[in-house]
């Protein structure tokens, strides 16, 4: 009962719905352009429409969903080169900055966590398990970003991943689980271990850049 009153605060239904939708979007389980509906989502999640409406508003504000101006109907934003390029530039700015700031707060526990994430990532890659790969990659990156103690930047990164998710699906839809450069992850971990902030920034920049470049190529190839 000591700290239970503090940690007792069970998340609201709205938060649960939001997390559920956010996870689906980040892992690319929603196809770009796919239309969704409040009542359908509410029914699937076993709640009323009310909390779904609020979660969806939140996602729209983060540009992870959109309301088509004509219909006023809800859907996952579709892909465009312009959009992807903005995502790429924004991610290349904010994520290296977050990683840089994370160095000051790194601990052996986190290093171990990152190694575990990377191991899961490589295992998923070996099996061709796209979902597993996406999940492990997300965990790896945000276990780092959370250390930065920069909640605004963290939120920006989260929003950018929400928007990138559907693109990723499109990439892996074409080239099924290509050889992603997880070497950057190993170099990142090494840089964290010797607390070399500049190297961390550089390797994170390269990791993001390569990933987004891959998506850009896939998008162009798909015309």
* Residues of the shown chain interacting with its own copies in the complex, contacts defined by CB under 8 A: 9, 53-54, 57-63, 69, 82-83, 86-87, 89-90, 93-94, 97, 149-153, 155-156, 163
Residue whose tokens read 């007792």: 8
Q: With CB under 7 A as the contact rule, which of the stretches 47-55, 96-104, 123-131, 148-156 interacts with DNA?
A: 47-55
Q: Which residues of 180-203 are buried (b: 16+ CB within 10 A; e: fewer)?
A: bebebbebbbebbeeeebebbbbb
Residues 6+ apart with CB under 8 A from 141: 95, 157, 161
> Which of DNA, its own copies, none has residue 83 at its interface (CB below 5 to 8 Å by kind)?
its own copies
Minimum distance from residue 117 beta carbon to DNA (Å): 31
d(CA 36, CA 189): 39
The 3 state secondary structure assigned to 34-69 is CECCHHHHHHHHCCCHHHHHHHHHHHHHCCCCEECC
For position 197 contacting DNA by CB under 7 A, the verdict is no
Minimum distance from residue 220 beta carbon to its own copies (Å): 19
Minimum distance from residue 149 beta carbon to its own copies (Å): 7
What are the angstrom distances between the C-alpha of 82 and each of 79, 213, 223?
Answer: 9, 13, 13
For position 176 contacting DNA by CB under 7 A, the verdict is no
Taking the least distance from each CB to its own copies, the nearer of 48 and 86 is: 86
For position 49 contacting DNA by CB under 7 A, the verdict is yes
Phi-psi label, residue 195: left if phi above 0, alpha if psi -120 to 50, beta otherwise? left
What residues numbered 2-21 form the site for DNA, per CB under 7 A? 12-14
Taking the least distance from each CB to DNA, the nearer of 55 and 106 is: 55
Minimum distance from residue 152 beta carbon to its own copies (Å): 4
d(CA 122, CA 163): 24
Minimum distance from residue 202 beta carbon to its own copies (Å): 18
Q: Euclidean distance between the first and final Cα of the chain, in Å? A: 59
> Which of its own copies, DNA, none has residue 97 at its interface (CB below 5 to 8 Å by kind)?
its own copies
| Nearest partner of 192 among 141, 151, 123, judged by Cα | 141
Residues 6+ apart with CB under 8 A from 34: 75, 76
What residues numbered 21-40 form the site for DNA, per CB under 7 A? 36-40
Taking the least distance from each CB to its own copies, the nearer of 83 and 143 is: 83
Residues forming contacts to DNA in the complex (CB under 7 A) are: 12-14, 36-40, 47-51, 53-54, 67, 70-74
């Amino acid at each position: 009962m000591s700290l239970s009153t503090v940690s007792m605060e069970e998340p609201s239904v709205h938060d649960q719905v939001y997390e559920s939708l956010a996870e689906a979007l980040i892992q690319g389980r929603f196809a770009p352009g796919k239309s969704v509906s409040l009542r359908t989502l509410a029914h699937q999640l076993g709640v009323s429409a009310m909390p779904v409406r609020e979660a969806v508003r939140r996602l729209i504000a983060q540009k992870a969903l959109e309301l088509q101006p004509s219909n006023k109907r809800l859907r996952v934003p579709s892909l465009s080169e312009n959009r992807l390029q903005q995502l790429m530039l924004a991610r290349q700015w904010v994520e290296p900055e977050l990683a840089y700031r994370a160095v000051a707060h790194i601990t052996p526990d986190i290093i171990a966590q990152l190694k575990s994430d990377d191991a899961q990532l490589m295992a998923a890659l070996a099996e061709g398990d796209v979902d597993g790969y996406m999940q492990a990659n997300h965990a790896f990156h945000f276990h780092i970003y959370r250390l930065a103690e920069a909640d605004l930047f963290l939120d920006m990164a989260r929003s950018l991943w929400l928007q990138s998710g559907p693109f990723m699906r499109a990439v892996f839809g074409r080239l099924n689980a290509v050889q992603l450069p997880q070497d950057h992850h190993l170099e990142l971990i090494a840089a964290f271990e010797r607390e070399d902030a500049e190297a961390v920034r550089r390797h994170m920049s390269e990791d993001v850049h390569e990933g987004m470049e891959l998506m850009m190529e896939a998008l162009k190839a798909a015309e």
